[in-house]
Structure 1
Amino acid sequence: MNVFNGTAGEVTRTTPDPCIQRRPQPPMSTANSVFDTRPTGSLPPDFRYDESLRLKGTFRRTGGVKPGFALGDFNSISAAKVDDGHGGLRYYDDEPYTEMDHDDLEFQVQASTIGTTQLADRRPTEPLLRKGYMVDAAAHLGAPWEPTVGHWADGQGDPDPWGPRRIDLILASRSVAPALTGYRAHRSPAAEAASDHLPVFADFDPSKVEAQTGTSGPPITGRRANGVPTGICSSTTSRRSGTSPAPTPRPSAVTRS
């Protein structure tokens, strides 16, 4: 898990082991987390929830949350909810596992529902989204639903057994949410060939990001962790090469899982 903390005077990269590396400080907090669910050599499902609590703690400040983004391959379905049109709420992402029957359901489905309703385990994002601590950019903006995985075939030509899902997320903290202006997934033949995950982008207006004091402050127009101007935030992963495809020549802050 890469956590970029913009208030501690440095950037700390944390991993499940005690290894800690430090980098120069960016102007805002950005985190790129990997919540791995692969059955072989992977972390237990509960670890993804524990990681989300660590991530939440990274963004915490007295009386609120630091301005920033958490983005990457969460390997789980988002817990974000939207208006259902009838005075209630529904999940932005529908339940994708209800009709599935294969050996790996335990890594994505709530254990008590396997064989019955088979509900997605949404715990990894629940602590981050609770009370608007962070928002899921796609759900917050009411963007058309787009899967980020499910297009991939393995070396033998077998399709992804999990089907189309949206598990690559961009979460914005409470003070950044008002600045969000757009969200999209990039789909093209080149992107689908390059990775089992599609890139996702969020646009935001730096002048509308609230200062860390909780009040409106001067525009944040500095650079992200990789030195790219703010204004576009994106995430992508690549299982094939470990590198991020560059779908467009426009400036962006691309992080790698």
Structure 2
Amino acid sequence: MASYNLLEFGMYVERAGEKVRYDRVAEVIRNVDADVWAVQELADEDALRRLANTTGLRCDVPDSDGAMGEVACDPGRNGFGVGLLWKPGIEPLPGTLRRYTFDVYFHGLVKVELDVGGIRLQAASAHLTPFGSPQIVTEARRVVSNLTRPDGCPPGFVGSDSNSITGDRIRRQDGRWDWHAADPYAGQDWYDALVWQCTWRYDPRTGRRIHRADRAAGDVLRAGGLHDTGAVLDVPFAATVGYWPTGDPYGPRDIDHIRVTTALTPAIRSSRVYRCELALTASDHLPKVAEIDLAALAERPTLPQAA
């Protein structure tokens, strides 16, 4: 699976250089060659359809009666849509498309159930608020419910622009439990935009503001049973943002994540950031890619077989 924020894809088609950039996004997707894509910052459903046609992927989901026409896209409450793409041969299950445009999300979440070689899986794409707590924590709780409720739902994964670093903990070699992701704001002087990324307190003697990364949303996701693939494997830090020439005051960070439900954690084989010259000129986010070996699952959530 891969997760990729496409940077206003299809929103400003007349802007100079956008056609070239859109073509680069499509080439990145073809080069990564993932089976399932969670994408963010879509203009609308038509933008997702065009991307699917360009890359040879699919995004159409049949309704409960089996008729095609639904698109795996949540257009987003504030104009930044999210979508799902998958390779031919993977089949979306009729009537399983869910959109959450007018739920608690500032942007949105879309989910569909897929038949992957006879195994039933949920796939979701999400884009959390850029404006921090408490809204981002509320959204994280809703992501948990979308992927883990009702009880007995199939295992699954969600790719997201999380707009925050993870809150997953790992056990170090010396036995201590610690955050997997280091605080990217440690050592920085305070600036106004940190109000959306940090918590803070004041030194009672000096009155100086002391800040640190707000990990509350990531902690909620992990506590609710959605595990960051990079933390599960303890992969070294690699930034997904912070290289684009405009629009990001924070510096290099990893705010794009692929999370899986607990049942899928034994099947995670790799988690990485796809970085190359092409990707660095296609979007202000780099794709996050995770390999999941479904043959490794102890319990395979297979579809019912016809009599």
Structure 1 and Structure 2 fold alike (TM over 0.5): yes
Which is helix-richer, 1 or 2?
Answer: 2
Q: Which amino acid aligns with 1:142?
A: D
Counterpart residue number, 2:230? 138
1:164 aligns with 2:249: no
Q: Retained in 2: the 8 A contact 1:181–1:204?
A: yes
Counterpart residue number, 2:160? 72
Q: CA-to-partner distance for each residue in 1:70-100, whole Å, 9 max, x for gaps?
A: 1111000100112232211111111111213
Instruction: Please give the TM-score of this superposition, normalised by the length of structure 2.
Output: 0.58
> Where in structure 2 are there 5+ consecutive unaligned residues?
1-73, 75-81, 85-91, 115-119
**Structure 2 Cα separation of the partners of residues 134 and 21 of structure 1:** 15
Q: Retained in 2: the 8 A contact 1:3–1:13?
A: no
**Structure 2 Cα separation of the partners of residues 173 and 195 of structure 1:** 28
After TM superposition, the structure 1 = structure 2 runs for residues 156-195 of structure 1, keeping only pairs within 5 Å, are 160-195=248-283
**Structure 1 Cα separation of the partners of residues 282 and 245 of structure 2:** 12
Counterpart residue number, 2:124? 31
Counterpart residue number, 1:123? 216
Counterpart residue number, 2:97? 11
- Offset, 1:143: 1.5
Instruction: Please give the TM-score of this superposition, normalised by the length of structure 1.
Output: 0.69
Larger radius of gyration: 2
Q: Which amino acid aligns with 1:28?
A: L
Identify which range, 28-37 or 197-206, moves more after superposition. 28-37
Counterpart residue number, 1:232? none
In structure 2, relative to structure 1, the CA distance for the partners of 1:35 and 1:22 (3 Å cut) is: closer
Identify which range, 66-75 or 116-125, moves more after superposition. 116-125
Counterpart residue number, 2:137? 49
RMSD: 3.2
Q: Which amino acid aligns with 2:239?
A: P
Identify which range, 168-177 or 140-149, moves more after superposition. 140-149
Report the identity percentage: 27
- Offset, 1:61: 3.9
In structure 2, relative to structure 1, the CA distance for the partners of 1:8 and 1:119 (3 Å cut) is: farther
Which secondary structure state, in structure 1, belongs to the residue aligned with residue 279 of structure 2?
A: helix
> Where in structure 1 are there 5+ consecutive unaligned residues?
38-42, 211-215, 221-257
In structure 2, relative to structure 1, the CA distance for the partners of 1:161 and 1:218 (3 Å cut) is: closer
**Structure 1 Cα separation of the partners of residues 273 and 296 of structure 2:** 23
